[in-house]
Structure 1
């Protein structure tokens, strides 16, 4: 398989260039569907069946299985959307500089889409078992929280013994064995307006109330337990001489254990239910709705298996935890041993200087292919 892939690196880079040069931001259905059609044609040419899950607003999802797949044990998930605005591909098209590929979404995760396809090609060419043991989901809205993809992913975890998620490897090459969960809240604070000079005593400041709540909410952070509460955006008031009647805050919550969600949610609502400024009230919207990817015994075994494969092909495989969310959380929460970060190595995702290290393209593709084969024995 290594020789097969090495001979096709230029072909891999050519497909990567095609995909990167298509705007496929999460709200760009047309662009995402173009990416999907290119990949669909590739998988059909390889002999796979491809089912299109049509979405009216978001891009379509693809469910890919080999005709010989009766009860595939491996679920592989990759996303086709990026975070970049329309026009970015034309303004900053695919390029290669000093051994690094650049362009919008090059490593997060269009290189992974190519790597996954060519891993399937390499396994097919080798004659080894594997392609009939996988079910592949290519989704369209991971970057905005997998709004439509989440139920699809959760439905396809049934009967799976392992899930491989195709986010890129970390900058140091690490796989991801743990991710934080969390959610978002919006606090609407209601007070009473008054002239701040003539009759301030008649006012009830929503900004003052919000200030008290920010301090109390941030006090819920517990670094030892991996819990963080961050009031990231606040707003309120139109003039300095008015006691502010309305204020708003947007809050980000991160957790490391599924069991932490309910207690944190309860504490947030308890804090907001009791005013510090008499005469003010708070309306709370939101929830902790993203489960964490916990490092289970099954995940640990997967890490060790992949480390062993890496040793055989000259890759020092390590694993790490990250605070960011992702689709691995949904497969993990469903009880399926999950490993993330199986794409090529790169960095600066979501930035103008995002890159993929070209010399990791083939080795990481080989690592993925051998992992699928090993898990299919």
Structure 2
């Protein structure tokens, strides 16, 4: 498998370039669907069935498995969308500098899409059978919380034994075995407008009330417990000489353990139920989009299998926890052993300096193929006498 992938190194990088040079931000449906059609044709060329789950607002989702697959027990998840708006590719298309490739979404996660295809191709062309035990979901809206694909992932994951998620590996090559849960909320405050010079006593400042709420929300932060609450954006008021009749704050919440969700929601509701400025009214909306991905005993066992695969091909596998969210949270929440960060190594995701470590493209493809083959053998029943 190593020889085959090394022979296809240039071809793989050219495929990354092709995908990177298509704008596919979460709201750029045309670009995502174009990428989906390219991947659909590629997998169909390997005798895979590609089910296109059409979407009106977001890009279409793809569900992929081999024609001979019967109840595949390995789920592989990756996303086709990026965080970059339409037109980004024209400003900074794919480029190579030394051992690194640059471009919008090059690591998060255009390279991972290439990795999945070539891992399957590698298994098939070397006479392995692991590809028959895999179902692949390529979704289109991960970067905005997977609003249209989370239910699809949960549905397909329900009967799986393992979930492999292809977010990029950390900069040091580590895989991800724990992620914090995340949610987005909005604080809406209604006050009473009044001229701030002529009759300020008649006003009830929504901005002043929001200031109290922001301080109270930030006091919920607890680094030791892994709870983060951040009011990252605010808006309000209509004129500098008018007491604000409306204000709003936008809140990002991160938790480390699932049991923390009820606690943090109760505390936020309690804060919003009380008015520090009489005559103002506060409404809290939003939800936790993803539960935490906690490192369980089953996850540790899956990680050990991946470590064994890494050892076989000369890669030392390490793991870590991260504060960012991903689709791994959906599979982990169902109790399915899940390991994330199985994509190629990259860094500076979501920025103009995002990069891919080119040598890791073939290396991590070989790792994925080896892991799939090992997990497929673990599911085979021994022959009875």
TM class by shorter chain equals over 0.9
Write out aligned runs for 1:76-225 (5 A).
76-225=76-225
Contact 2:188–2:283, Cα closer than 8 Å, also in 1: yes
Aligned counterparts of 2:356 and 2:368: Cα–Cα separation in 1: 17
Asked whether the 8 Å contact 1:182–1:261 carries over to 2, the reply is no
Partner residue in 2 for 1:287: 287
Note if contact 1:169-1:344 (Cα within 8 Å) is conserved in structure 2.
Answer: yes
Question: Counterpart in 2 of 1:5?
Answer: 5
Q: Secondary structure at 2:285's aligned position in 1?
A: strand
CA distance in 1, matches of 2:87, 2:287: 34
Conserved 8 A contact 2:145-2:289: no
In 2, Cα distance between the equivalents of 1:244 and 1:38?
52
SS at match of 1:198: coil
Per-residue CA shift, 1:99-135, capped at 9, x if unaligned?
Answer: 1111111111010000110000111122223111000
Counterpart contact for 2:29–2:58, Cα < 8 Å? yes
Cα pair 2:164 2:339 within 8 Å, conserved: yes
Query: What is the CA deviation profile of residues 220-274 of structure 1, one whole-angstrom value per residue up to 9, with x for unaligned ones?
Result: 1111111111011112223333222211111111111111112211111111111
For residues 1-377 of structure 1, the aligned pairs below 5 Å read 1-377=1-377
Cα displacement string for residues 301-352 of structure 1 (whole angstroms, at most 9, x for unaligned residues): 1122212221222212111111111100000001111000001001111111
Q: Any stretches of 5+ residues in structure 2 without a counterpart? A: 378-385
Superposed CA RMSD in Å reads: 1.1
Within 1, Cα distance between the matches of 2:266 and 2:313? 49
**Which residue pairs with 2:382 in the alignment?**
none
* SS at structure 1 position matched to 2:169: coil
Q: Residues of 2 paired with 1:282 and 1:136: CA distance?
A: 44
User: Is the CA contact 1:73–1:133 (under 8 Å) kept in the aligned structure 2?
Assistant: yes
- TM-score computed with the length of structure 2 as normaliser: 0.96
In structure 2, the CA distance between the partners of 1:289 and 1:94, relative to structure 1 (3 Å rule), is closer
Is 1:265–1:288's contact at 8 Å kept on the other side of the alignment? no
CA–CA distance in structure 1, aligned partners of residues 14 and 201 of structure 2: 69
CA distance in 1, matches of 2:127, 2:259: 44
Q: Take 2:203 and 2:57, find their aligned partners in 1: how far apart are those partners?
A: 45
Task: Give the CA deviation at 1:198.
Answer: 2.8
Give the Cα separation in 2 of the matches to 1:344 and 1:207: 46
Q: CA deviation at 1:56?
A: 1.6
Q: What is the count of residue pairs matched by the alignment? A: 377
